[in-house]
Homo-oligomer: A and B are copies of this chain.
Amino acid sequence: MRLLPSLLLAGLLSGPAAAQTAPALKTDSLNLRKIYDEALLRGQSYENLRYLCERIGGRLAGSPQAAQAVEWGKVTMEKAGCYDKVYLQECMVPHWVRGAREKGQIIGNKNKGVPAAVCALGGSVATPGSKPLRAGVVEVQGLDELKALPDAAVRGKFIFFNRPFDDALVEPGAAYGKAGDQRRSGPAEAGRRGAVGALVRSLTAAHDDYPHTGATNYGDTPTKVPGAALSTIAADQLSQLLKADPKLEFELTMSCQQLPDEKSYNVIGEVRGTKYPEQIITVGGHLDSWDLAQGAHDDGTGVVQSIEAVRLLRAAGLRPERTVRTVLFMNEENGTRGGDKYAAQAQQNQEKHLAAIESDGGGFTPRGFNVQASPAVFQKVAAWKPLLAPYLAGQLTPGHAGTDIEPLAAAVHPTALFGYDCDSQRYFDIHHTAADTFDKVNKRELELGGGAMAALIYLLGKYGL
């Protein structure tokens, strides 16, 4: 039972933050406490998320639900009452639809089908005519192994990419990174080699029957073949049956299709800084989500936290000295068109961006932030650790900040990028599946995250970089 206030002050006055004056730090410490009182006692993230998940649900770019989410985002920001202005920023987005038919089965030598849980990868083409496509299966552990196979072994087959998550890695995100090329490039490479389709083991450490979707990219492949994810149970079963019967076939049916681009929007709320209005701090998450589920942790939590962070500041009576913008980015999952548009507009307007913060790693218990900055700037930020640590957000780690703010970084070079970092053990269990639902989110964990983001904005807004 730690006594937080005393520890906090002890840490402040003796820690690396001692370079800042003690009275300023005491004020900061008290202001952070105000932010967290609001977050933990009167936080609005959880109820906002409930609405987004349960009333709107899955909201892939271009879908009617994405349009509803845009409207919801605007209204929710206006209701939050913390912005000087709320507006939409138009962008064209890809529009891929899953279609009604989606089925997989393993066909053994007695011609009996064993159902296998599958889903189309985002951006995949349908099976020809949206009809069942039956072919033999070649299992590989990755793109390299496919490359080494002779054409004769590949032609006319499904390539089954079955390299599992490396469970020895402490961070499931690192395992995701290590296994992800199969999903992103597997179908393209399979098509290039004359295969009829690609079956990809779901990118997860979980052993269950949820297939995990996610974007696949054909690049300049001349022949596009369908790509589907298999649940880990289905993948293990297919692998096992293949060992007993290398001639078995897989039958895949998918009716997904790419429709013409649709008009959509980033939703933006802005508070003008009192002292340095030209210096902009962006905080955001992505409003779109995969269609299979409610997009709770990916990235409903980031969306509601990005609104809440600004509301918390204002509710705590802390109007920022620098301009703060909440951006609900459209189309992170299969295009990043919203991020691109926000960056292009910033460049065109010759805006000065101090920092950008993204929350897109789930809404679990905070750890801190991944930081992209020069060593000198990182040092400055690291001095804030003792202020953030009592709220479980004191871990500042050099690392990737977020996909939506990457284009902004390239366009106008903010001084630092921050990715909200939280406990990640459960994230890839539900990521891009039908299980990414509101009930997986814990209210306190979520609200603590909004608090962490507000605290960082407060410090950035007051001290700059």
**Interface status of A219 (Cβ within 8 A of chain B):** no
* Cross-chain contact of A171 among B2, B205, B399, B442 (Cβ < 8 A): B2
Query: Interface residue count for A (Cβ, 8 Å)?
Result: 32
Q: Which residues of B contact A2 (CB under 8 A)?
A: 171, 174, 397, 399
Which residues from 145 to 177 on chain A have a C-beta closer than 8 Å to any C-beta of chain B? 167-174, 177
Please tell me if A426 contacts chain B, counting CB pairs below 8 Å: yes
A236 interface contact, C-beta 8 A:
no
Q: Are A170 and B390 in contact (CB under 8 A)?
A: yes
Known contacts A40-B170, A41-B168, A365-B425; 10 additional CB pairs below 8 A are: A1-B173, A1-B400, A2-B399, A4-B169, A4-B170, A40-B168, A170-B392, A205-B444, A423-B423, A426-B445
In the complex formed, the residue of B with least CB distance to A428 is B444
Minimum C-beta distance from A272 to chain B (A): 30
Residue of B nearest to A446 (CB): B425
- CB within 8 Å of B: which A442-458 residues: 442, 444-445, 448
Q: Does A391 contact B (CB under 8 A)?
A: yes
| Residues on the B chain within 8 Å of A423, using CB | 365, 423
- A184 to B324 CA separation, bound complex (whole angstroms): 48
**What sequence of 0s and 1s flags, for each residue 413-448 of chain A, a beta carbon within 8 Å of any chain B beta carbon?**
000000000010110010000000000001011001
Q: CB distance A174 to B41 under 8 Å?
A: no
* B36 touching A170, Cβ below 8 Å: yes
Contact with B along A36-61 (1 / 0, CB 8 A): 11001100000000000000000000
List residues of chain B with CB within 8 A of the CB of A37.
168
CA distance A169 to B400 in the complex (A): 30
- Is there an interface contact between B205 and A170, defined as CB atoms closer than 8 Å? no
**Closest residue on chain B to residue A178 by CB atoms:** B1
Closest to A177 in B: B1
Selected contact of A448 from candidates B170, B173, B174, B442, CB within 8 Å? B170
Q: When A and B form their complex, which 4 residue pairs have the shortest distance between CB atoms, in order from nearest? A: A1-B177, A425-B444, A425-B445, A365-B423
Contact with B along A338-376 (1 / 0, CB 8 A): 000000000000000000000000000100000000000
Chain B residue with Cβ nearest A169: B4
CB-CB < 8 A to A167: which residues of B? 40-41, 444
CB within 8 Å of B: which A164-215 residues: 167-174, 177, 205
Residues of B within 8 A of A400 (CB): 1
